[in-house]
């Protein structure tokens, strides 16, 4: 897959820089060529000689290299690659990228490139969790930057938590995904995600505990298989993935309108936790507590059934997948829901508080079709997403993934 591909590898200044040497070896082993860029800080952790020797190509370090810059070397470097990879991507490099700085060779290359960029963040756990780093990450993802990791684990500084750079083989897999057309190329998939907020008055609403993490992971997995993804999301705590068309909504009625507007599609996956009811007597002004007055009474009306509406729509996608979050009789309720709604598949899970699934990082699902029930083990939500995306690709293309 990577044979003949050229990777521009920017090595930032962190203890994880040593992993970049293994990444170079892996890339060369699958036939890619590596053009290495070593930052001044990176050279404090790995030597220029070791990087250049493994890459088998000249090492680039200086923005003001007179020979290279006579030919606008930094422009050529940034454009000649098929993919730009930053590993490790330090907090400083991420801040420069998010802020559009270009004051050294690495940051100038990142500003000048017209190719996709993949970062592998690596830093101390406190630096990773700092609001500025998370703000920069959100900005980079919104700009379409791809990211892999970081992993959880022990740090060189003695702390434990998220911040370890992804392992070289994981980065290699992310590079392969970034440069792959994928089996879903040319296919359009609609994905809904997150909760809906149903207003009580201008400042209050009814909602649920959905984080949007599973829907977001699924949209990313479908994107990675080459699909054009329309991602309709409620006000989730998980940011939308890069590389998809994002439509932000608040209420169930807005989500239905956005889903209908996204048609036609080859598949539609309704992972959102849509509120079943809305407040019928929504107040136009903030409801006030008044001493001696009776408590307000909320009247409810049923929200539109998005899954059933799309399943019965004249422009129905060939594959419609619903989700069923249950707290009892999970499979039985989900089977009944599939028949009642008219969708092709239902992905059912147990969201009882004891499972920790609602808002958590793992999921345990049952894939229910017209003729079978598959019980999947408890897995990270990213892995559930990859498995489901692969099944969707198989269904749409007729080829096992």
From the list 1, 72, 142, 157, the catalytic residue is 157
Binding residues for CTP: 276, 286, 304-307, 323, 337, 341
Q: For residue 120, what are the CA distances in angstroms to 23, 29, 142, 147, 249?
A: 11, 20, 16, 6, 31
Place of tokens 């092709």: 344
Place of tokens 């080829």: 399
84 alpha carbon, distance to own chain's centre: 19
Quote the crossing angle between the two packed helices 168-178 and 17-29, to the nearest 10°: 50
Instruction: Find how far residue 325's CA is from the centre of its chain.
Output: 21
395 burial via Cβ count (<10 Å: 0-12, 13-18, 19+)? middle
Q: Retrieve residue 369's tokens.
A: 């079709």
Max CA distance (Å), the chain: 84
Instruction: Enter the tokens of residue 359.
Output: 């808002």
- Extended strands (E) in 6-148: 6-11, 33-38, 83-89, 117-121, 146-147
Q: What share of the chain is helix, strand, coil (3-state, %, to 5)?
A: 35, 25, 40
Measured between alpha carbons, how far is 329 from 4 in angstroms, rounded to an integer? 53
Give the Å distances, CA to CA, from 145 to 85, 241, 294. 10, 10, 54
The helix/strand/coil state of 102 is: coil
Task: State yes or no: is 157 an active-site residue.
Answer: yes
Q: What CA–CA distance (Å, rounded) separates 312 from 321?
A: 13
Binding positions are 276, 286, 304-307, 323, 337, 341
How far is residue 7's CA from residue 96's CA, in Å, rounded to a whole number? 21
Helices (H), 226-305: 252-262
- The C-alpha atoms of residue 120 and residue 111 are separated, in whole angstroms, by 17
What is the C-alpha to C-alpha distance for residues 221 and 382, in angstroms, rounded to an integer? Answer: 8
**d(C-alpha 301, C-alpha 53), whole Å:** 69
Residue 329's φ and ψ, nearest 5 degrees, are 45, 55
Q: Which residues have a catalytic role annotated? A: 157
């Amino acid at each position: 897959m990577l044979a003949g591909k050229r990777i521009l590898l920017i090595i930032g200044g962190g203890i994880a820089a040593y992993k970049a040497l293994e990444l170079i070896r892996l890339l060369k082993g699958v036939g890619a060529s590596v053009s290495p860029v070593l930052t001044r800080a990176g050279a404090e952790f790995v030597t220029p000689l070791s990087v250049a020797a493994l890459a088998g190509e000249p090492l680039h370090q200086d923005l003001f290299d007179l020979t290279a810059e006579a030919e606008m070397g930094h422009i050529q470097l940034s454009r000649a690659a098929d993919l730009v990879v930053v590993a490790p991507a330090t907090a400083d490099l991420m801040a420069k990228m998010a802020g559009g700085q270009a004051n050294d060779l690495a940051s100038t290359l990142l500003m000048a490139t017209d190719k996709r960029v993949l970062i592998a963040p690596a830093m101390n756990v406190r630096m990773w969790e700092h609001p500025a780093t998370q703000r920069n990450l959100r900005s980079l993802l919104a700009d379409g930057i791809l990211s892999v990791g970081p992993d959880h684990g022990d740090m060189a500084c003695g702390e434990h938590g998220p911040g370890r750079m992804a392992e070289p083989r994981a980065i290699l897999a992310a590079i392969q995904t970034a440069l792959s057309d994928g089996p879903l190329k040319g296919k359009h998939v609609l994905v809904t995600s997150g909760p809906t907020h149903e207003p009580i008055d201008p400042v209050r609403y009814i909602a649920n505990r959905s984080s949007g993490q599973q829907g977001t992971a699924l949209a990313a997995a479908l994107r990675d298989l080459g699909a054009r993804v329309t991602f309709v999301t409620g006000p989730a705590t998980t940011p939308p993935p890069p590389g998809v068309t994002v439509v932000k909504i608040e209420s169930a009625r807005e989500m239905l309108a956005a889903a209908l507007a996204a048609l036609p599609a080859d598949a539609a996956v309704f992972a959102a936790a849509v509120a079943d009811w809305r407040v019928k007597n929504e107040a136009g002004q903030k409801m006030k507590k008044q001493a001696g007055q009776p408590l307000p009474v909320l009247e409810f009306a049923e929200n539109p059934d998005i899954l059933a509406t799309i399943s019965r729509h004249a422009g129905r996608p060939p594959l419609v997948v619903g989700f069923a979050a249950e707290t009892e009789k999970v499979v039985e309720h989900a089977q009944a829901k599939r028949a009642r709604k008219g969708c092709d598949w239902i992905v059912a899970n147990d969201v009882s508080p004891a499972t920790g699934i609602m808002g958590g990082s793992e999921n345990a699902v049952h894939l229910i079709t017209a003729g079978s029930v598959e019980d999947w083990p408890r897995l990270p939500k990213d892995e559930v997403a990859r498995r489901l995306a692969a099944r969707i690709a198989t269904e749409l293309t007729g080829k096992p993934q």
